[in-house]
């Protein structure tokens, strides 16, 4: 029996050894197969990416219906442009002949819906020619080609400035900015993450592993996003695909930092890397799963939004987070195990060694100060966050289309020239779509509406007629907005659209979406936290903390957007999108901290000791993860669109506040102040019975 037992034990040991060698290679092989399948689809994502106006408008708004019906009219979507000729001292007869000749050439080379008629300004300095063409239809590339062709024809001569503006030109300029996001956004993100990982790991090799795995996850997310588009018709825009990349690298690197830190810790206790990785996955796996679950659930709540740009971010953001999760919990462990301890060189964690402990580490010091006077720290933090949140009162109003670029493209300068030369005249068309049988009556009603300068019938088809309207007031002014609202109130069965109406609908819809999406995000995140922490108090504490961070971050935006950055407005969706991302991502760090705190409490540590130990052991990882996540979102501030810059700034600042103030000081202080009550109503909220423990240790009488 002894010999057989020894042989069985030997077979068990050999089997375990074979498994340790085989499993990482099997995982690596599976990933190679997955990437081979996904590769062709990932390369096609750019083909289905669109930045049409309907991809950003509210799904059910009047302006969206106008854009959709215009696509179905003869010739399809109309590209509306304005040619702007200007001379400071006044246009000369030669200038007018030059403008007329260029307009004639454009009319001869392209199909226009009507012959352009020049409209001179009252001061004689400017001449504008409204130009519309349905030659490109709904093809964005053809629209851009048309705009570029016309810009080549429209040229300045001897002090005469000539520019092409209008909605079509603005769309082309915006499209070029979005097209430029893909490459620069990816490269800049990779570079930023690489630099931070090198500084964090201080290893010539280790930093490459999470970065490569994040790149693989990003490639996988592109393939999955393309599959969703083909299977369910999900919208893919430049904005949503850019945010997906940011989430893959930001959240994925966070998960990698937590796993690698725990793996390094286990390598000192466990001899074999395979077994150490299993222990690391058991230790931090639940926190990583819950963390990704909160982000995915929070972002997925955007599907309830009516705004198409927000809704499209829901599935793509969720795909990015889940692909990062899968890669970091499977591919990253496999590569680390195959590379062994040497991947940590020169700071190799030897088996049986103990890490060098600083006598007074930063997070130990922070924990001590929070533990000595928790209520004072809490009150000070609340005052600071509340004071910062007051800055939100200084946030500018909704950004106009021409103010949504960091650098002014030609379309913006043209529209500003028009605004100065025609201060009391509308220069941007309002589109009205009405049933064809009521077109004449609708036209009469429009012309009798206060604030209308001109109105003309356009195309007819599919039972609808398009009427082009010009208001008397400047585009997106309060007076023009009032005119649009009067049109909508006075026209039954008709739709009012166009650029100004679209901006009005964006503001109204974002307000509605906040009331729907925000409660869903809070509820979904709260439920996940309750399940993970088995408490009601701790989840509520974390949610209140991240909401406070969101308010303070918006307040900081209010202090810098106008006075420092010179932005004339904010994106209507900034509040909602920043809330979703900051709440979902901010809870991550709370999960890392509270999960470790709960782990220490289960080992028998007293509440204060558990809180301080959790901060000391996870503080460095949380700080590193926060820096990486903030840096990835800060990449957006280098993009050319004001909405992207604002979103990147608010989220980056919020993550830093959450990392270095809320998690380290406020959550730790609150946990110390609440004691066992932080785990109420779970078992950890009750004091252990020492008599019961003593009785369990005493032998039963025979």
Strand boundaries in 367-504, DSSP class E: 430-435, 452-461, 464-471, 495-497
Q: Which helix (H) or strand (E) holds 656?
A: helix 642-657
Of 93-102, 131-140, 197-206, 209-218, the least confident: 131-140
Please write the tens of the pLDDT for every residue from 24-46: 899 999 999 999 999 889 888 88
Question: 312: closest CA among 580, 55, 573?
Answer: 55
CB-CB neighbours of 634 under 10 Å? 21
pLDDT cut 70: percent of the chain above it: 91
Two tokens, residue 99: 């403008």
Two tokens, residue 12: 């068990």
Query: For position 374, what pLDDT does the model report?
Result: 81
Q: Is the pLDDT of residue 12 over 70?
A: no
Please write the tens of the pLDDT for every residue from 401-416: 778 888 888 888 888 8
Q: Is the pLDDT of residue 165 over 60?
A: yes
Tokens 């639940």 correspond to 286
* Domain 19-48+203-355: homologous superfamily in CATH: Multidrug efflux transporter AcrB transmembrane domain (1.20.1640.10)
Q: What is the mean pLDDT of residues 565-575?
A: 88
Tokens 């290679």 correspond to 25
Using a CB cutoff of 8 Å and minimum separation of 24, what contacts does 282-289 make?
283/599, 284/258, 284/259, 284/595, 285/329, 286/532, 286/595, 287/258, 287/532, 287/591, 287/592, 287/595, 287/596, 288/255, 288/258, 288/259, 288/325, 288/328, 288/329, 289/325
Q: In whole numbers, what is the pLDDT of the chain averaged over residues? A: 85
Question: 127: closest CA among 87, 79, 156, 167?
Answer: 87
Q: pLDDT category, 181, cuts 50, 70, 90?
A: low
Q: What is the separation, in whole angstroms, between the first and last Cα of the chain?
A: 34
User: What ranges do the domains of the chain cover?
Assistant: 19-48+203-355, 357-394+500-686
Separation between Cα atoms, residue 231 and residue 515, nearest integer Å? 30
Question: 332: closest CA among 267, 265, 276, 253?
Answer: 253
Q: Is the pLDDT of residue 688 over 90?
A: no
Query: For position 368, what pLDDT does the model report?
Result: 66
Query: For position 363, what pLDDT does the model report?
Result: 63
Please write the tens of the pLDDT for every residue from 365-390: 666 666 678 888 888 888 999 999 99
Residues composing the chain: 702
Q: What is the 3-state secondary structure (H, E, C) of 372-405?
A: HCHHHHHHHHHHHHHHHHHHHHHCCCECCHHHCE
State yes or no: cis peptide before 681, omega within 30 of 0. yes
Output helix, strand, coil percentages for the chain, rounded to the nearest 5. Answer: 70, 10, 20
Query: For position 100, what pLDDT does the model report?
Result: 92
* Domain 357-394+500-686: homologous superfamily in CATH: Multidrug efflux transporter AcrB transmembrane domain (1.20.1640.10)
Separation between Cα atoms, residue 128 and residue 148, nearest integer Å? 18
Query: For position 702, what pLDDT does the model report?
Result: 40
Q: What is the mean pLDDT of residues 169-186?
A: 75
Separation between Cα atoms, residue 374 and residue 379, nearest integer Å? 9
Two tokens, residue 188: 């800049």
**163 neighbors 126 (Cβ within 8 angstroms):** no
Two tokens, residue 131: 């130009």
- Please give the model's pTM, rounded to 2 decimal places: 0.83
Q: Is the pLDDT of residue 692 over 50?
A: no
Q: Is the pLDDT of residue 6 over 90?
A: no
Query: For position 625, what pLDDT does the model report?
Result: 83
Q: Which helix (H) or strand (E) holds 195?
A: helix 167-201
Identical fold between 19-48+203-355 and 357-394+500-686 = yes
**Is the C-alpha dihedral spanning 457, 460, 465, 470 positive or negative?**
negative
Query: For position 184, what pLDDT does the model report?
Result: 72
| Residue 157: strand, helix, or coil | strand
Please write the tens of the pLDDT for every residue from 72-91: 887 777 788 999 999 988 99
pLDDT cut 90: percent of the chain above it: 30
Separation between Cα atoms, residue 201 and residue 665, nearest integer Å? 25
Q: What is the mean pLDDT of residues 326-355?
A: 88
Q: What is the mean pLDDT of residues 233-242?
A: 84
Q: Identify which has the larger pLDDT, 640 or 552.
A: 552
Query: For position 330, what pLDDT does the model report?
Result: 94
Q: What is the mean pLDDT of residues 206-212?
A: 91
Query: For position 261, what pLDDT does the model report?
Result: 87
């Amino acid at each position: 029996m002894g010999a057989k037992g020894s042989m069985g034990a030997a077979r068990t040991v050999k089997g375990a050894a074979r498994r340790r060698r085989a499993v990482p290679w099997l995982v690596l092989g599976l990933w190679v197969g997955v990437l081979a399948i996904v590769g062709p689809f990932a390369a096609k994502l750019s083909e289905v990416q669109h930045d049409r106006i309907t991809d950003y408008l509210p799904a059910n708004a009047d302006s969206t219906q106008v854009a959709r019906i215009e696509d179905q009219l003869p010739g399809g979507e109309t590209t509306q442009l304005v040619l702007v000729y200007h001379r400071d001292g006044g246009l000369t007869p030669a200038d007018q002949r030059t403008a007329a000749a260029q307009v004639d050439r454009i009319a001869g080379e392209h199909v226009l819906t009507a012959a352009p008629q020049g409209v001179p300004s009252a001061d004689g300095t400017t001449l504008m020619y409204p130009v519309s063409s349905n030659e490109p239809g709904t093809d964005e590339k053809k629209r851009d080609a048309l705009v570029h062709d016309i810009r080549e024809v429209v040229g300045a001569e001897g002090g005469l400035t000539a520019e092409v503006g209008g909605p079509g030109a603005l769309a082309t300029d915006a499209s070029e900015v979005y097209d430029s996001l893909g490459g620069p956004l990816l490269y800049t993100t990779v570079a930023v993450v690489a630099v931070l990982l090198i500084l964090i790991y201080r290893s010539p090799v280790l930093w490459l592993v999470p970065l490569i795995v994040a790149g693989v996850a990003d490639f996988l997310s592109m393939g999955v996003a393309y599959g969703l588009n083909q299977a369910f018709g999900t919208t893919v825009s430049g904005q949503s695909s850019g945010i997906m990349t940011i989430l893959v690298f930001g959240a994925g690197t966070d998960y990698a930092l937590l796993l690698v830190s725990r793996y390094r810790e286990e390598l000192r206790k466990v001899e074999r890397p395979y077994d150490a990785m299993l222990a690391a996955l058991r230790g931090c796996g639940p926190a990583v799963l819950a963390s990704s679950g909160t982000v995915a659930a929070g972002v997925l709540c955007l599907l309830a939004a009516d705004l198409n740009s927000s809704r499209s971010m829901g599935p793509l953001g969720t795909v990015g987070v889940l692909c990062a999760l899968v890669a970091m919990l499977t591919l990253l462990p496999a590569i680390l195990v195959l590379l062994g301890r040497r991947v940590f060189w020169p700071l190799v964690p030897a088996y049986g060694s103990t890490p060098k402990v600083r006598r007074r580490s930063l997070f130990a010091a922070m924990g001590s100060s929070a533990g000595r006077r928790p209520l004072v720290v809490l009150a000070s933090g609340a005052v600071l966050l509340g004071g910062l949140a007051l800055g939100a009162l200084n946030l500018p109003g909704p950004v106009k289309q021409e103010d949504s670029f960091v650098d002014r493209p030609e379309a913006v300068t043209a529209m500003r020239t028009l605004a100065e030369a025609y201060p009391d005249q509308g220069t941007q068309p309002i589109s009205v779509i009405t049933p064809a049988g009521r077109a004449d009556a609708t036209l009469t009603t429009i012309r009798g509406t206060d604030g209308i300068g001109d109105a003309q019938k356009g195309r007819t088809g599919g039972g609808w007629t398009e009427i082009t309207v010009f208001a008397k007031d400047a585009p997106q002014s309060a007076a023009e907005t009032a005119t649009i609202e009067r049109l909508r109130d006075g026209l039954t069965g008709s739709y009012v659209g166009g650029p100004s109406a679209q901006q009005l609908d964006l503001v109204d819809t974002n307000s509605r979406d906040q009331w729907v999406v925000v409660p869903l995000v809070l509820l979904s995140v709260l439920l996940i936290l309750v399940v993970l922490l088995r408490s009601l108090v701790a989840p509520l504490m974390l949610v209140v903390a991240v909401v406070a961070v969101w308010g303070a971050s918006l307040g900081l935006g209010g202090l810098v957007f106008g006075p420092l950055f010179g932005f004339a407005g904010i994106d209507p969706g900034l509040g909602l999108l920043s809330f979703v991302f900051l709440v979902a991502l901010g809870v991550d760090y709370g999960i890392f901290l509270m999960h470790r705190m709960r782990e220490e409490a289960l080992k028998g540590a007293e509440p204060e000791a558990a809180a301080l130990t959790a901060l000391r052991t996870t503080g460095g990882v949380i700080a590193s993860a926060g820096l990486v996540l903030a840096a990835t979102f800060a990449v957006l501030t280098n993009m050319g669109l004001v909405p992207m810059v604002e979103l990147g700034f608010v989220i980056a600042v919020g993550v830093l506040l959450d990392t270095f103030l809320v998690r380290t000081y406020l959550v730790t202080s609150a946990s110390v102040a609440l004691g066992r009550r932080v785990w109420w109503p779970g078992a950890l909220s009750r004091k252990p019975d020492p008599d019961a423990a003593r009785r369990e240790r005493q032998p039963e009488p025979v």
